Amino acid sequence: MLENLNLFLVIVEKGGLAAAGRELGFSPATVSERLASLERYYGTTLLSRTTRSISLTEEGRLLLEEGRHLLAQAEGLKRRLRDGGDEMNGLLRISAPHDLGISRLVPLLDRFMAQHPGITLDLNLTDGYLDLVGQGIDLALRYGELADSTLRTLSLGENRRIVCASPAYLARKGVPRHPGELADHDCLLMRFGEHPERWWSFQVEGVVKRVMVQGRRISNNGYLVRQWCLQGEGICLKSRWDVGEDLSRGRLVEILPEFAAPASRLQIVYPSGRHQPRRVRALIDALVAEFGRPQG
């Protein structure tokens, strides 16, 4: 429609269909077809034509006046959309696990936004799974392998999950020496989707084995599970990134380290086939620099 509108303006400017066709490289038949299409779109006759001249109808005169503004606005919008991808401004929609988001991502985003005042942020902290494409999310941080193979990933490094508890809990309940002893302990369970994560993986005599655990506290929020653990309510299985500072400060103690399961990955996940604006590319670079550091 915009191309046909531009043709209409050229027809008026050049004083005829043939002259407009020569100007734009269209055949006379193409010019006539496009003008007829524009008149059908608006539901009115725009030009009165004779064998020797053309003249504007009242509706054509109105379109001539307003059409220039429409084309200018459309061109301005196109320029902003095109150039906006190369500017450090606009909205970033991000998702991340709750605990990792609070402890590591939010401080990084605060620094990033301070460096780029034109950036606005929509951050979704959840330990569940989201439809990135359907919800318009630019990128997400996720642990482990992905079921959705249509998404693109960029590894940020190894994610080691550890079993830990507070000194108060261990003093009260004792320290388990083997994964099989967890059956006698209160374990704090994460729920991903509908079902709690009751099976924990360990490396036992060179083989990965799954041990079933039980507990009275279950949540889909990793931050809450960590808080329960700090309060001495039980034993949890957490990413080293989530509890690294707690371990270094002695608030939590790693247990069963000799049975630690093989590490998984922390990944940046983003929709495939989508042009990434400069702001998204810059954030990915910042995430790689931040999480590429050794874990605490």
Residue with more model confidence, 73 or 286: 286
Report CA dihedral (285, 290, 291, 292) to the nearest 10 degrees.
80
- As to burial, measured by CB atoms within 10 angstroms (0-12 exposed, 13-18 middle, 19+ buried), residue 93 is middle
The CATH number of the domain holding residue 11 is 1.10.10.10
166 shares its domain with 221: yes
What pLDDT sits at residue 296?
A: 39
Is the pLDDT confidence value at 231 over 80? yes
* 127 alpha carbon, distance to own chain's centre: 14
170 and 108 within one domain: no
State whether residue 52 is helix, strand or coil: coil
Q: Identify whether residues 143 and 110 lie together within a single domain.
A: yes
Q: Domain total for the chain? A: 3
C-alpha span between 293 and 165 (Å, rounded): 25
Residues 175 and 249 in one domain: yes
Mean pLDDT of 188-214: 88
- 145-162 pLDDT, tens digit per residue, is 766 567 888 888 888 889
CATH assignment of the domain containing 127: 3.40.190.10
The pair of structure tokens assigned to 203 is: 């490396």
Average pLDDT value for the chain: 86
Rounded to the nearest 10 degrees, what angle do helices 222-230 and 240-248 cross at? 20
Specify the pLDDT at position 294.
42
CATH of the domain at 217: 3.40.190.290
Same structural domain for residues 133 and 149? yes
Residues 101 and 166 in one domain: no
Q: Is the pTM of this model over 0.75?
A: no
Domain that holds residue 65: 1-83
